Structure 1
Amino acid sequence: MKGFLFEELNGGASCRTYLIVSPRTRDALIVDPVLELVPSYLQRLGKDQLRLTLVVDTHTHADHLSGGRELARMTGAVHAGAPLEVVERPLHEGDVLEVGDVRIAVWETPGHTADSLVLRLEDRVLTGDTLLIGATGRTDLPTGDAESEYHSLQRLVSLPGDTLVFPSHDYGGRTFSTIGHERLTNPRLRLDYEVFMRLMTTPRNEKPARLDEALAYNTRPREEHERHVEPEQVTAFL
């Protein structure tokens, strides 16, 4: 039986935010929070009197504003992960996060972005935008690299088939998958190297609607960010 509590916080929206809690200590970790939803995360923590110790962004998000900095600032938690110039605690291959008595392994999985990370627990993996359900993260946005993505995916699919997969996005209302299911059904995982490279390096016309805004906000250095007035969605809650 797993020794932690696990919950998705965004109610099935395409952007997924995960809460991991140590039942014994009530310490908590939130992964990939969305800025506009920070008030709801605070309410969730308060409901069960959880102590947020870590907030992790698995990569530099290009489609929404990260709530990582604000959530950490408002709770005293440590903001970790990516981007390196923004977070208080950069994460690297082989790091282990401790949330109470829960241990979470960090993998570097570049490809979707150069700073992409995956978080592995005892029975599941939080795949960020590296591996999605039935797809993979695109590699045509800033710092993306198709070859790195291919090798990161090969590493992920080497996990046991019953490993649960929880991505940072899903556009079909699905909540999770497994490594075994993705091996069998994910079209991109069934491509050989050459075909995968052709597909992932073909330019795509559509870009995330908030690309410029998201990248500007999410990559703002920590010192500069502290001099800016925060967006209304957060300051109105204070």
Structure 2
Amino acid sequence: MKGFIFEELNGGASCRTYLIVSPRTREALIVDPVLEMVPGYMQRLAKDQLRLAMVVDTHTHADHLSGGRELARMTGAVHVGAPAGSVQRPLREGEVLVVGDVRLTVWASPGHTSDALVLVMEDRVLTGDTLLIGATGRTDLPTGDAEAEYFSLQRLLSLPGEMLVFPAHDYGGRTFSTIGHERLTNPRLRLEHEAFIRLMSAPRTEKPARLAEALAYNTRPLEARDEPAEQVSVF
């Protein structure tokens, strides 16, 4: 893959949003945008005269409002990913997203949610809420499944150790990890299958502060005016 621009847009906040740009075509993709941050994303696109081609939500977010539909409305980009009834185009296992010279392979990665996805590039993987730095996505929220997450994580661990890991959240100010580092240091990944299931299935009293609001907003049905003018480019 030729060179590309890769930036985290939220200034190190716990919710992570990624901008990926093909310098040759000036086309861009934004992954997991936050609604309140959309004006800042628009400023960033305008600064370098970038054309937003795609917006991806890697799963149904339960802790914040997605900015995906608003970005698509403002720019003409195609909103893809999850949840299936609320984006312009759901994504399937094995599809390849193409933005200029940049290619991202879609892996279905259920567990944190049933619709969770990860995006695999040549040297890095955007892990959504499936694999976090030093942790994994919780499975006690709607559509979560500890068994499914265990096998999704095993698949991620099959990637080369030098692969960079960029999650959709981090609560310790860390920017990235690697698959190899997570294999060695992530306590949940060191658990055997049954122990992992017990841990991830244990009841948790704390819930995301905006759980009901976020789920209602992020799963609202797609409206006719939101339909894309053209299909996203995939292999």
Pairing 1:6-85 to 2, within 5 Å after superposition: 6-85=6-85
Counting matched residue pairs gives 226
CA-to-partner distance for each residue in 1:42-77, whole Å, 9 max, x for gaps?
Answer: 000000000000000000000000000000010000
Q: Return the alpha-carbon distance in structure 1 between the equivalents of residues 143 and 175 of structure 2.
A: 28
Q: CA deviation at 1:3?
A: 1.9
CA-to-partner distance for each residue in 1:87-136, whole Å, 9 max, x for gaps?
Answer: 11110101000001211100000000000000011100000000000000
DSSP 3-state at the match of 1:187: coil
Q: Return the alpha-carbon distance in structure 2 between the equivalents of residues 8 and 99 of structure 1.
A: 18
Pairing 1:148-227 to 2, within 5 Å after superposition: 148-223=148-223
CA contact (8 A) 2:109 2:116 kept: yes
Q: Return the alpha-carbon distance in structure 2 between the equivalents of residues 43 and 172 of structure 1.
A: 27
Paired residue type of 1:145: D
Give the gaps of 5 or more residues in structure 1.
227-238
Paired residue type of 2:221: P
Work out whether 1:113 is the aligned partner of 2:107: no
CA contact (8 A) 2:118 2:125 kept: yes
Paired residue type of 1:18: Y
Q: Return the alpha-carbon distance in structure 2 between the equivalents of residues 197 and 114 of structure 1.
A: 16
Give the gaps of 5 or more residues in structure 2.
227-235
Paired residue type of 1:215: L
CA contact (8 A) 1:86 1:220 kept: yes
Q: Return the alpha-carbon distance in structure 2 between the equivalents of residues 163 and 225 of structure 1.
A: 39
User: Structure 1 residues 117 and 71, CA, compared in 2 at 3 Å: closer, same or farther?
Assistant: same
Paired residue type of 1:37: M
Partner residue of 1:104? 104
Higher mean alpha-carbon deviation, 215-224 vs 165-174, is at 215-224
The alignment's TM-score, normalised by the length of structure 1, stands at 0.93
CA contact (8 A) 1:2 1:123 kept: no
CA contact (8 A) 1:2 1:122 kept: no
Q: Return the alpha-carbon distance in structure 1 between the equivalents of residues 145 and 225 of structure 2.
A: 28
Question: What is the percentage of aligned positions where both structures have the same residue?
Answer: 81
CA contact (8 A) 1:114 1:144 kept: yes
Question: Which ranges of 4 or more aligned residues in structure 1 deviate by more than 3 Å?
Answer: none
Q: Return the alpha-carbon distance in structure 2 between the equivalents of residues 201 and 96 of structure 1.
A: 33
User: Structure 1 residues 225 and 149, CA, compared in 2 at 3 Å: closer, same or farther?
Assistant: farther
Q: CA deviation at 1:187?
A: 0.2
Q: CA deviation at 1:225?
A: 9.4
The alignment's TM-score, normalised by the length of structure 2, stands at 0.94
DSSP 3-state at the match of 2:194: helix
CA contact (8 A) 1:29 1:52 kept: yes
